[in-house]
Structure 1
Amino acid sequence: MKAKTIDRIATGIIYALVSVVVLILLFLLGFILIKGVPHISWKFLTSPAQAFIAGGGIGDQLFNSFYLLILTLLISFPIALGAGIYLSEYAPKNWVTNLVRITIEVLSSLPSVVVGLFGFLLFVVQFKLGFSIISGAIALTFFNLPLLTRSIENSLSAVPDLQREAGLSLGLSKWKTVTRVIFPIALPGIITGIILSAGRVFGEAAALIFTAGQSAPAINYADWNPFNGTSPLNIFRPAETLAVHIWKINTEGIMPDANQVSAGASAVLVIAVLVFNLLARFIGARLYRKITAGK
Structure 2
Amino acid sequence: MALRSLENAMPAVQERPRKIAKTAAAKPDVPPAGIDENLAPAAISAEASVEYVASADLQPLDDPEKKLQTLLEDLRSNDWLKLCDALNNVRRLVLHHSSLMTPILEKVMIATAKSMKNPRSAVCKTTLMASTDIFSSLGHTLHLDFAQKDGSFDQLLLQLLLKASQDKKFVCEEAEKALREMASCLPPVPLMKKLQSYIKHSNLRVRAKAAIAMACCVAKMEMEVMVEHGLEGILVMATELLNDRLPEARESARAMVREVHRAFLESKDGKDGDEEQPSESSQAWQDFCFSNLRPALAPSVAKIPLQ
- TM-score scaled to structure 2, two decimals? 0.24
Greater helix share, 1 or 2? 1
- TM-score scaled to structure 1, two decimals? 0.24
